[in-house]
Amino acid sequence: MSRLLVTGGLGFIGFNAVLRASAQGRSVVVLDNLKRRTARRNLKAYRKLAPRGAKLVVADVRDAGAVARVFKRHGPFDGVIHLAGQVAVTTSVAEPVRDFEANALGTLNVLEAIRKHSKKSRLVFASTNKVYGGLDWTKIARKGERYVFRHPAGGVSEAAPLDFHSPYGCSKGAADQYVRDYARIYGLGTVVFRQSCIYGPWQYGEEDQGWVAWFLIAALRGAKIRLFGDGRQVRDVLFIDDLLELYDRGLAHPAARGEVFNVGGGPSRTLSLLELLGWIRERLGIRPPLERHGWRPGDQRVYISDISKAGRRLGWKPKTSVDAGLSRLADWLKSGRIDFA
């Protein structure tokens, strides 16, 4: 039975990863500091569902000693999925030092623990498309309810220049480069996934992070949605199950070692804010009240990942259509099992 550590394991992606791994019969150690309200909500579900073979350790990745202890007591691990961190750009602007400590230092602590106590572990790191910054070099056009890329037509590839914007972009970008370099310098089996928008069950979206879930939650609760810009902003969106399928490949596939991959729904799975509102109207029969605001600084008109490298090297491609994924998220939100208190 393989042994897995999931840091940030009570967050949206982490909790899904824990449920999947325990269903696969893996033994899982879940590390989370429980500071996020969303993690405390998922803790209730964790206790109820009690995933088989999972053990929860409350610890903070900013604390090198605590991270090392997890490896000494519960390791070595065959795989580590490192997700713990500060996730919102807005929070990073308000608290850049805390953001740096959670994302950059926290990742270095995980890398050091692997290097010293679990050298054979494969590591998946959840990086972000924000490492590509404002994408001033792209060319965009307006088309109906959305913006489109004229260049690069196939989406942003891993060859795009790094250009860290915002403290979040800097802290994740630093971590991204450390993860990559630990493969070169120390021979660790790491892989970096630069993720676009991920959505799915166990996501309690908020206005500044997880917009797909946030729109659905607001609509179902009858809350007002604040719409920034003209609503034609486009992102590629990836359903959680497709991401986790890729994580499995990242942990196992020899071609993943030391590599960086852009990850998202790619050009065939994209959504603008207005299109999501249209979907909510058509499929859920809800017209959420909107409050219009101007553009937020740095809000990209379009971001679409070129995911062809992950397809070529790891044989991965997303399976869930946008319509199917949104329906599954909406069904989960309507199931009444979620406690938004």
Residues forming the site for ligand NAD (CB under 6 A): 8, 10-14, 32-36, 38-39, 60-62, 83-87, 102, 106, 126, 128, 172, 195, 197-198, 210
Residue nearest to ligand NAD (CB): 11
Q: Which is nearer to ligand NAD, 139 or 208 (CB)?
A: 208
What backbone phi and psi angles, to 5 degrees, belong to 87? -115, -5
| Nearest Cα residue to 160 out of 127, 181, 190, 130 | 130
Measured between alpha carbons, how far is residue 229 from residues 147, 293, 328 in Å? 12, 6, 28
Tokens for 177, please give them.
Answer: 């480069």
Q: Which is nearer to ligand NAD, 35 or 292 (CB)?
A: 35
Smallest distance from ligand NAD to CB 297, Å: 20
Residues contacting 35, CB < 8 A, separation 6+: 60
Smallest distance from ligand NAD to CB 30, Å: 10
| Cα gap 173→194, rounded to integer Å | 10
Smallest distance from ligand NAD to CB 172, Å: 6
Q: Which is nearer to ligand NAD, 275 or 286 (CB)?
A: 275
* Catalytic residue of the set 46, 132, 147, 168: 168
Smallest distance from ligand NAD to CB 171, Å: 9
Is 303 one of the catalytic residues?
no
Query: If DSSP codes are grouped into helix, strand and coil, which group holds residue 1?
Result: coil
Q: Which amino acid is at 267?
A: P
What backbone phi and psi angles, to 5 degrees, belong to 131? -65, -15
Mark out the alpha helices in the chain (DSSP H runs): 12-23, 37-49, 64-74, 89-94, 96-100, 106-117, 166-186, 211-221, 240-252, 273-279, 308-314, 322-334
Measured between alpha carbons, how far is residue 6 from residues 66, 81, 86, 97, 220 in Å? 15, 5, 16, 24, 31
| Cα gap 116→98, rounded to integer Å | 25
Q: Which is nearer to ligand NAD, 1 or 50 (CB)?
A: 50
Smallest distance from ligand NAD to CB 305, Å: 11
Q: Which is nearer to ligand NAD, 44 or 151 (CB)?
A: 44
Smallest distance from ligand NAD to CB 148, Å: 21
Q: Which is nearer to ligand NAD, 91 or 286 (CB)?
A: 91
Which residues are tagged catalytic? Answer: 168
